[in-house]
Amino acid sequence: MKNQNQHIENHYHREGLYEEILQKLTEQHLDLNAITRANLAGVDEFHVRGAAVSKELAKSINLNNQIVLDVGCGLGGPCRMLADLYNCSTTGIDLSKEYIRTATLLSKLVGLDNKTTFTQGDATELPYKDNSFSVVWTQHVQMNIPNKEKLYSEINRVLKPGGHFLFYDIFKKGTELITYPMPWANEATHSFLFPVDEMQNTTTKLGLTKVQHTNQTQDGIAFFKTLLPKIKEFGAPKISLELLMGTTTISKHTNLLQHLQDNKLELISGVYKKQEDTLY
Ligand SMILES: C[S@@+](CC[C@H](N)C(=O)[O-])C[C@H]1O[C@@H](n2cnc3c(N)ncnc32)[C@H](O)[C@@H]1O
């Protein structure tokens, strides 16, 4: 597991990421003393459809003033959105030290450091007490984690009774082989895709109740069909996921689009609820 985690951390690592983002903001002639969340939106949400899909997911429950954990938080964009728009107190945890450093500095840059906290750590060994959070949120992380039972049991453990688990993820359909590189892995040995039904079985066994699932695949396909021709013709914008995926951005996006189209992968978001405490 240690080797696997090290591999994942290396996969995402970009040395000096925060400084590179500042450089790109400066090249856009933006005042570094007046940076807003919107200025960062192209890079700080590392999932299909970025900020738009996070805002939709946030509308699926009442998030006002909630205590939220984002598992595999990346650069912390969703944590900042929830802190800013819903006055949530948010904690993000991620394997990548460099992402956590960058997330912390970006929150400071946009003045949201009082409502966001970022910690380096493993989603399968969450360093929090039982029942700590009223909402647990995760987007595009489980594909990097082989031990699904441990992941979802940790999520369930830290969630308060009556709290909600919100997810937006990529799932496998069928058994056919996937072409790599993908945004989360350069090769199959470091990718742990599984079907959404297995996720539902695992979470249900843990005592989480499904509230809803939404298939986001067609919206994801439409997103890539708009984005990819633009990147191919004009190059990626200065503030974009190319800062995280580098020279393989187009092939990763192309492979993902292909498999969403040919039904080998699907994008699903959803909500689960943890049982309320019962009085005996
Ligand atoms: C595709 S990015 C998504 C980041 C973020 N959730 C977002 O949507 O912007 C996947 C993230 O999962 C993190 N990750 C992968 N395995 C993890 C683990 N075992 N524990 C914590 N974070 C993990 C990676 O470091 C990376 O930041």
Strand-pair category, 265-274 with 133-139: unpaired
pLDDT, tens digit, 9 for 90 and up, residues 71-103: 999 999 999 999 999 999 999 999 999 999 999
- Residue 214, pLDDT score: 98
Give the span between the Cα atoms of 63 and 164, in whole angstroms. Answer: 10
Residue 162 CB neighbour total at 10 angstroms: 12
Overall domain count for the chain:
1
Tokens of 243: 């800062």
| pLDDT score recorded for residue 175 | 87
Q: Please choose from 48, 80, 81, 94 the residue to mutate so as to test ligand 1's pocket, defined by most ligand atoms within 8 A of CB.
A: 94
pTM: 0.97
Q: How would you write 128-148 as a 3-class SS string?
A: CCCCCEEEEEEECCHHHCCCH
Q: Which helix (H) or strand (E) covers residue 23, if one does?
A: helix 17-27
- pLDDT given at position 1: 67
Using CA atoms, how far apart are residues 81 and 54, in angstroms rounded to an integer? 8
Query: Is 230 inside a domain boundary?
Result: yes
Q: What is the pLDDT of residue 279?
A: 58
Domain presence at residue 33: yes
Examine residue 279 and state whether it is found in any structural domain, yes or no: no
Q: Is position 127 within any domain? A: yes
Residue 31 has a pLDDT of 96
Interhelix angle 196-205/148-158, rounded to 10 degrees, is: 50
Under DSSP, is residue 246 helix (H, G, I), strand (E, B) or coil?
Answer: helix
- Which parts of the chain register pLDDT below 50? none
Q: For 207-219, what is the HEC assignment?
A: CEEEEEEEECHHH
CA of 144 to the centre of ligand 1 (A): 8
Range of the domain at 157: 2-274
What's 6's domain CATH number?
3.40.50.150
Residue 174 lies in a domain: yes
- The DSSP output letter for 72 is T
What residue owns the CA closest to ligand 1's atom 17? 95
Q: Do 95 and 8 form a contact (C-beta atoms < 8 A)?
A: yes
Q: Which residues contact 70 (CB under 8 A, 6 or more apart)?
A: 76, 78, 79, 82, 90, 91, 92, 93, 137, 138, 139
Crossing angle for the helix pair 249-261 and 217-234, to the nearest 10 degrees: 150
Task: Flag whether 9 is in a domain.
Answer: yes
Specify if 58 maps to a domain: yes
Distance 278 CA to ligand 1 centre (A): 34
Pocket of ligand 1 (CB under 6 A): 8, 12, 45-47, 72-74, 77, 93-96, 99, 122-124, 139-141, 144-145, 183-184
CA distances from residue 112 to 50, 93, 224 in whole angstroms, order as listed: 19, 16, 30
Task: Kindly state the helix (H) or strand (E) to which residue 61 belongs, with its residue range.
Answer: none
